[in-house]
Amino acid sequence: MKRIRVWLCAALLGLLLILTACVDPILTPQIVATPVADTPTPVPPTMTPSPTPEPQAALVNGQPILLADYEREVALYVESMAAAGQDASTDEGQDALAQGRALVLEMMINQVLIEQAAQSAGVTVGDEDLDATIQTLREETGEEAFQQWLTDQGMSLEEFRVRLRSDMIATQMANRAVEVVPTHSEHVHARHILANSDEEARQILSQLQAGDDFVSLARTYSQDTSTRDTGGDLGFFPPGILTSSEVEAAAFALQPGQFSDVIQSSMGYHIVQVVERVPDMEIDPENVRLLREKASRDWLEGLRAAATIERFVASTP
């Protein structure tokens, strides 16, 4: 039973969290931030009457997400909270439950959007592939455990087939979204100095223009504690990796040895220096992963931006 639950989490929750997560490396591409679930669009504070006789949680481009299906997914989320030792009756538990309800609804909306995109693209999962996957699960868990898991989930075999088919289609669509990510790309090796104010950054810039050493100034003045000790070294990185698009754009506009003017970003005020440029370099596997996650997110965000989404449930119980 655990094997089935883990597989489903990997196929559905894992995939959709990757697609909706705001996963960004911090300024240095060697360090990866923890994925954070995408903030859902605010929902009404109370239940709104469903526009059809059958209660609905949402409409996605006119396609309903039934309230009963949504509440079943929420119930599974509550079970996972209990399994993790979190008491839903506490204030902290209630906050986690509210966040979970919102996340479940957004994930279900994403799933519908992915299925609609798959239908438009002609992407399907045939019965043969579906049956083979189910047979593998049965063999790995044992038939008795498999049937017990279905019972525990309140799910028939046919309902499981529907869910599994959706998960497999979503995986195919995610794979399509990341096909554009290359394995080789131009790279730059850059450094930066981060200051708290424009005035401070310009004082540092004047010292650079007078001939002072960039590395020494970075070690003395940079507010980026993750790179300060190494003289502001960002290492080699391809386009699309840095959190700060302003810093990245400046780096790719410079030639080796050149440094930028003061650049403002959400982090502060930067001065960037390029150490080396390589026109074609293999992208580090971790950076490939980050670029694929970004490609997936961008693709899904495009689907959401073009969609008409109506929500009829609140995130609070």
* CATH number of 197's domain: 3.10.50.40
Task: Judge whether 316 lies within some domain.
Answer: no
Is 173 among the domain residues?
A: yes
Are 189 and 175 members of one domain? Answer: no
| Two tokens, residue 236 | 């080699």
The tens digit of pLDDT for each residue in 66-119 reads 999 999 889 888 888 888 888 888 888 888 888 999 999 999 999 999 999 999
List, for residues 48-66, the tens digit of each pLDDT value: 444 557 899 999 999 999 9
Residues 64 and 143 in one domain: yes
Query: Are residues 126 and 161 located together in one domain of the fold?
Result: yes
Q: State the residue range of the domain holding 100.
A: 2-180+293-311
32 pLDDT higher than 70: no
pTM of the model: 0.72
Record the tokens describing residue 15, joined without a space. 């995939």
285: in domain? no
What is the pLDDT confidence band of residue 24, given thresholds at 50, 70 and 90? very low
